[in-house]
Structure formats: structure tokens, C-alpha cells
């Protein structure tokens, strides 16, 4: 099957995350319609975090760094299934444990941005050797959390990933208050 990602059907949702329609991803993006996404924080056996730089060909936030793997939730797809699918696809692994849900929030990219999306944040441990998708990931490494924190002000990060990171830190009592 050689369908374009722009043709993938997504659920369009309201401010309460209720499905109000179903449209192709390309149209959802073009119109800035609210949809669903998953963010998976991946740690290795040494408790380091998988960090990567997105490829320049990504439709959303090209060439930016991210401390999450993930993506859009397909039409009719449960969040939990999307989290596992996206994590395995982006890491290039099979047999990953089911990611554990941590929190949900409505992300809004602000005026002139790409719209808003319901975001569910997960965590998973990956002890498998990773082979990230070349079309998704330009660079990757497992970094200690302290190094990720140091890089926050130095590297260009995806804004929705930063929002998820801040909420995750706040949920753990590590937020900036």
C-alpha cells in the first residue's frame, strides 16, 4: 500500500476530545483542525532518554529536536494502540512493552500556528536495540535526563514536545512552579 500520509484518516475532535468528524490528515493540517496525538517518552536500561532530531522532510516541525516519539492517532484508533504503534515504528523495534499513560492535555500552537491537538503522554522502557526510521529521524541518542535539561535552551525543540515535557515534569513535582 503506497498511500500518502496526507491521505491517512484522522478523527477531528472538539475541546472535550469528542469525535466530531473524520478527514484526511492533509486536510486536517491545512485547516488547522483539532485532532489527537501521542507522545512517548522512551528510556533505556540506563534510564537515559531517547532524543532525536526530526528529518527536514517532516510536514510538522522539520529538523527540530524532540524528547518524545509519537505522532497522530488514526481515525478510530485508541490512544494506547497509537502510542505502541508509533513508538515501535519510530524506534524501529517490535515487542516493545505497552507504553504507560501518564497525562493528557490540549495543546494549542497559538495564533498563526498549526492548530491544536489533544495530546496523551506516555512512558516506556526500551531495552531493545533501536533502529529509527530514516524518513522520521535524522539523528538520535539516549541522553541522561540532566543533559536533556541542559540542551533545552541550546537546541531548537518541537514546541508541542516542550509543552509535554513541562507538563510531565510538573506532574512529577519537578516543574518550575
Looking at the predicted structure, is the pLDDT value of residue 1 above 70? no
Cα torsion 98, 121, 171, 32 to 10°: value is -170
Provide the pLDDT for residue 161.
95
Looking at the predicted structure, is the pLDDT value of residue 47 above 70? yes
Task: Give the mean pLDDT of 52-76.
Answer: 94
For the segment 16-35, what is each residue's pLDDT rounded down to a tens digit? 999 999 999 999 988 989 99
Q: How far is CA 174 from the centre of its chain?
A: 21
Provide the pLDDT for residue 175.
56
3-state secondary structure of 129: coil
DSSP string computed for 6-22: GGSEEEEE-TTS-EEEE
d(CA 129, CA 107): 31
Looking at the predicted structure, is the pLDDT value of residue 177 above 70? no
Provide the pLDDT for residue 114.
76
Task: Give the mean pLDDT of 154-167.
Answer: 96
Task: List CB contacts of 126: < 8 A, sequence separation 6 or more.
Answer: 42, 43, 44, 50, 87, 91, 93, 96
Question: What's the DSSP call for residue 74?
Answer: B
Instruction: Write down the mean pLDDT value for the chain.
Output: 92
For the segment 74-126, what is each residue's pLDDT rounded down to a tens digit? 999 999 999 999 999 999 999 999 999 999 999 998 776 678 899 999 999 99
For the segment 117-145, what is each residue's pLDDT rounded down to a tens digit? 999 999 999 999 999 989 889 999 999 99
Amino acid at each position: 500500500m503506497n498511500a500518502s500520509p496526507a491521505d491517512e484518516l484522522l478523527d477531528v475532535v472538539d475541546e472535550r476530545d469528542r469525535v466530531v468528524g473524520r478527514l484526511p490528515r492533509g486536510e486536517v493540517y491545512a485547516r488547522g483542525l483539532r485532532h489527537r496525538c501521542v507522545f512517548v517518552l522512551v528510556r533505556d536500561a540506563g534510564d537515559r532518554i531517547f532524543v532525536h532530531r526530526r528529518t527536514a522532510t517532516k510536514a510538522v516541525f522539520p529538523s527540530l529536536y524532540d524528547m518524545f516519539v509519537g505522532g497522530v492517532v488514526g481515525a478510530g484508533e485508541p490512544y494506547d494502540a497509537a502510542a505502541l504503534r508509533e513508538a515501535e515504528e519510530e524506534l524501529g523495534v517490535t515487542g516493545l512493552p505497552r507504553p504507560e499513560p501518564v497525562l493528557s492535555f490540549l495543546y494549542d500552537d497559538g495564533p498563526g500556528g498549526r492548530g491544536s491537538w489533544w495530546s496523551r503522554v506516555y512512558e516506556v522502557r526500551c531495552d531493545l536495540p533501536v533502529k529509527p526510521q530514516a524518513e522520521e529521524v535524522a539523528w538520535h541518542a539516549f541522553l541522561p535526563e540532566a543533559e536533556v535539561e541542559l540542551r533545552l535552551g541550546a537546541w531548537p525543540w518541537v514546541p508541542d514536545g516542550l509543552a509535554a515535557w513541562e507538563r510531565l515534569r510538573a506532574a512529577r513535582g519537578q516543574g518550575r512552579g
